[in-house]
Structure 1
């Protein structure tokens, strides 16, 4: 009985930004738990290759979709086509994101717009048509990917911090509106993981040393360590959990 609570067999999971990095790890993890997955990316070849790897490793059905999550009109059109082709996703993971680093007073306005559009506005754009269909069905799971920077700040990434703080508050707002339709909306906020987005950080000996000393676990996270929280929030085990933000960060946000 306990194991079956986490079984995702027969579910359809749509993970944005899942051709590589955290999104790819989450798509693979959900597939390993039994879900069929829709892999999303910007590059068709890279996305198709990622989906093929997941299918080969897990034996589940994988699908691909490529579109710009920052264009509201394109998102609505493409999500509508996805639902028509595959049905309404049971699980939506809003993972697509980007980073740009510069001191606050030197941060280009166009990069502010790009960071906010990719990290925050896309969550609204993608979630709205998906959860509308979920509400009509009467069930669904949404996971929004926040960050340790949803709660903390660091030099040179103020817009990223603003965007990820917004993701967590949007999660709460979505939960307030959607719980009545048996849709649970939660966030996962990773700490520092050795992902492609963080290459400039983990390859810098000075930052690497600082981060390990700053994190109680004394190490970077492994992408596979995000999967447990994602499976929990995607499964029947979290049927009365909504509006929450789970930090997966080795204790980083719990200490000073």
Structure 2
């Protein structure tokens, strides 16, 4: 869980315990069990006085006092006797944040959470909204009872796969993202879940239904705003990541993107 603090860091008990390794857009993770370890501090100008370089954000990790009550979501399903809940984060960088997490044992000093590095890799990708290809085309007209074909472009940014690698604190993570499903809300109160990109319609298909991603309207769009159904494609990306090296830790992140178009559906006798 990431929360943005409303207070500034100080050098009191449990103060700075080290410098972030690498450029963290969200958080750095350098941890101990509440014991202070000497760390580097930049000057008020944000520069390292001795080297003339930008100072790295200062980080800390401590055991929460008091601990959350039993049953709190912060325990991540564990019992208080199983371990403890800790906080860790950079409070002096350009993007201060605190990560709250459960651990069976006190976090090791200078431990970099690979999930944070995986998020850094994900942030390097340009995951875009689906690029919709629907028949009937926006601006045209479809008929009640006639098949609608839905599809999306399969580029790396709109469907995947898309990969990126990030390194921080000696931890290298490669993440690969791909759309695992697309939910189409058709504007008539129905939705269609497609586990693939769909098939782009061609005239040679005639009045056939889509083999993998289609819909049939049973009413016109006349009473809808603008006389059109709003069709929204919501793509859920599965982002699998792995720490470099044999037997490295793995995990998965989820991203969601959506796009919408408007289609007109009329009765067949209304078309000349």
Q: Please tell me the TM-score bracket, short chain as reference.
A: under 0.3
Ranked by relative contact order (alpha carbons within 8 Å, sequence separation 6 or more), the top structure is: 1
TM-score, structure 1 as length reference: 0.26
Q: Which has the larger radius of gyration?
A: 2
More strand by share: 2
TM-score, structure 2 as length reference: 0.25
